[in-house]
């Protein structure tokens, strides 16, 4: 579809330089904020109510002007940019979505391209594509009015509309705040998939720490008017920079980190392996072996009691494997797969092939992987701390 292909250049898309906002009544909403957001990066801003998240966001599209400091978008000091021109490059999704109640879903979505001078027919065509992209069938929903949609569906129209002008930057202020947790998770998944495809630079405000962790390439944890820590979710959960951040991310941060730590090949153990057409071995030095087909793709497993010499081949005694995941899946998925299948280990396969077997993940290796993710962050945090936390999950900070 007609999105600008932006090669991943890792240029800086948004830069804040010592930005302070003081309102007329003397409230300092944000205080000396400096940070950079790379092109194609999704940064979540998370923090308690009133800490300055919306103010930060609205300064990017000049709905609010900073009192001090400078903001750059694509290298350009935005105080010198025409706000209307600027906003064309920045999609904006607000919490209450702000759909026009008297316009249909399709018209709502087509608004921006239409304003930008795209012909009506073309704008509607594009709007239909976008609705499709956010999971709303244009034939079903296009002619409805916002009041005829569920909260979650309205949020999706908001996202489609913000994407309509194909802006490089998206500002999203609690876009999924008004929907229930189940729908929210669904929208988050869809949004992640969408972001994989369109690779916008996104500032995403949320109250919800889980959402911030789940969606953010990096996250900014706000205290009052200040960013207390700006880093990857894995680092923030693994090594909060101070007590405030540790408190904010919660005592169960060890568990939360499961959901942001991927399974890597180095985490895997190599168990005994047999192939489908092998004769049964005389003896197996383990309680079971993994069974692969001729292409080394995962087939299943065989238990030691069946794997001793006798007539037939491994194929005759192998069982299908239910508990497996592709490499790159999260440790949380691994843990949940183990529980679901009541399995002591899971098989891990290559994600780009037909299922080439890479190794197995055991609970001990899962635990090591969690520790690895902290060590890789290069932070000096006591191993014992992580260990306690990941084992007990709760109760310790
Ligand atoms: N127009 C205004 N005049 C004076 N103070 C303001 C104004 N707008 C916001 N504030 C104050 O600035 C601070 C930051 O507000 P902001 O809207 O950025 O918070 P937020 O982090 O988005 O909060 P929430 O999570 O509740 O949306 C708050 O103390 C707020 O009361
Ligand atoms: Mg706000």
**pLDDT tens per residue across span 252-273:** 777 788 888 889 999 999 999 9
Measured CA to CA, the distance from residue 175 to residue 200 in angstroms comes to 16
Put residue 9 in one of left, alpha, beta given phi > 0 → left and psi -120 to 50 → alpha. Answer: alpha
Kindly report the protein residue whose alpha carbon is nearest to atom 14 of ligand 1: 52
Q: Give residue 381's pLDDT.
A: 39
pLDDT band at 95, cuts 50/70/90?
A: low
How does strand 273-275 pair with strand 68-73?
A: unpaired
Compare 350 and 182 and report the one with higher pLDDT.
350
Which domains does the chain show, CATH number per domain?
A: 12-260 (3.40.50.300), 265-370 (3.10.580.10)
For the residues 48-76, what does the mean pLDDT come to?
94
Nearest ligand (C-alpha, residue 46): 1
Residue 139 makes CB contacts below 8 A (sequence gap 6+) with none
Compare 133 and 83 and report the one with higher pLDDT.
83
Q: Is the CB of 257 under 6 A from ligand 1?
A: no
Measured CA to CA, the distance from residue 247 to residue 266 in angstroms comes to 32
Q: Give residue 77's pLDDT.
A: 96
Q: Is pLDDT above 50 for 59?
A: yes
pLDDT band at 138, cuts 50/70/90?
A: very high
Measure 29 CA to ligand 1 centroid, in angstroms: 6
Comparing 73-77, 207-211, 351-355, 372-376, the range with the smallest average pLDDT is 372-376
Mutate to test the pocket of ligand 1, among 20, 55, 66 (most ligand atoms within 8 A of CB): 55
With beta carbons less than 8 A apart as the criterion, state whether 233 and 71 touch.
no
Q: Is the CB of 10 under 6 A from ligand 1?
A: no
For the residues 54-80, what does the mean pLDDT come to?
95
Q: Is residue 315 classed exposed, middle or buried when 0-12, 13-18 and 19+ CB atoms within 10 A define those classes?
A: middle
Measured CA to CA, the distance from residue 94 to residue 115 in angstroms comes to 19
- Averaged pLDDT of the chain: 85
Measured CA to CA, the distance from residue 214 to residue 236 in angstroms comes to 12
| E-assigned strand segments in 196-314 | 201-206, 218-222, 227-231, 273-275, 288-292, 298-303
Q: Is the CB of 27 under 6 A from ligand 1?
A: yes
Q: Give residue 312's pLDDT.
A: 83
For the residues 3-18, what does the mean pLDDT come to?
74
Measure 175 CA to ligand 2 centroid, in angstroms: 11
DSSP letter, residue 342 = T
Q: Give residue 9's pLDDT.
A: 52
Comparing 20-24, 149-153, 240-244, 387-391, the range with the smallest average pLDDT is 387-391
Measure 67 CA to ligand 1 centroid, in angstroms: 15
Residue 221 makes CB contacts below 8 A (sequence gap 6+) with 46, 47, 227, 228, 229, 230, 236, 245, 248, 249
Q: What residues are paired with 215 via a beta bridge?
A: none
Residue (of 239, 315, 234) closest to 278 by Cα position: 315
For the residues 285-308, what does the mean pLDDT come to?
87
Q: Is pLDDT above 90 for 350?
A: yes
């Amino acid at each position: 579809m007609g999105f600008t292909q932006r090669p991943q250049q890792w240029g800086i898309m948004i830069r804040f330089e010592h930005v302070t906002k003081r309102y007329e009544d003397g409230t300092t909403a944000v205080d000396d904020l400096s940070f950079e957001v790379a092109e194609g990066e999704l940064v979540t801003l998370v923090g308690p109510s009133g800490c300055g998240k919306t103010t930060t966001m609205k300064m990017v599209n000049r709905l609010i002007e900073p009192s001090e400091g400078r903001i750059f978008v694509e290298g350009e000091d935005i105080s010198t940019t025409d706000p209307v021109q600027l906003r064309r490059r920045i999609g904006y999704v607000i919490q209450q979505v702000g759909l026009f109640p008297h316009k249909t879903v399709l018209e709502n979505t087509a608004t921006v391209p239409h304003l930008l001078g795209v012909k009506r027919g073309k704008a509607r065509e594009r709007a239909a594509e976008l609705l499709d992209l956010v999971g709303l069938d244009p034939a079903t929903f296009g002619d409805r009015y916002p009041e005829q949609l569920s909260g979650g569906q309205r949020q999706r129209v908001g996202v489609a509309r913000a994407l309509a002008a194909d802006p490089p930057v998206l500002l999203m202020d609690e876009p999924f705040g008004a929907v229930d947790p189940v729908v929210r998770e669904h929208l988050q998944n869809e949004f992640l998939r969408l972001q994989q495809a369109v690779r916008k630079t996104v500032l995403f405000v949320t109250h919800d720490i889980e959402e911030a962790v789940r969606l953010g390439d990096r996250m900014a944890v706000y205290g009052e008017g200040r960013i207390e820590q700006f880093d990857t979710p894995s680092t923030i959960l693994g090594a909060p920079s101070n007590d405030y951040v540790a408190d904010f991310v919660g005592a169960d941060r060890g568990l939360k980190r499961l959901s942001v730590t991927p399974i890597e090949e180095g985490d895997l153990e190599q168990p005994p392996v047999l192939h489908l057409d092998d004769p049964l071995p005389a003896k197996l030095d383990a309680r079971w072996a993994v069974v692969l087909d001729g292409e080394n793709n995962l087939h299943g497993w065989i238990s030691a009691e069946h794997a001793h010499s006798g007539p037939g081949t491994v194929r005759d005694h192998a069982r299908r494997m239910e508990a497996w995941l592709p490499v790159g899946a999260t440790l949380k998925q691994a843990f949940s797969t183990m529980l679901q299948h009541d399995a002591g280990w899971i098989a891990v396969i290559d994600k780009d092939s037909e299922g080439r077997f890479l190794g197995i993940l055991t609970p001990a290796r899962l635990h090591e992987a969690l520790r690895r993710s902290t060590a890789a962050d290069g932070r000096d945090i006591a191993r014992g701390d992580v260990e306690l936390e990941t084992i007990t999950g709760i109760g310790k900070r």
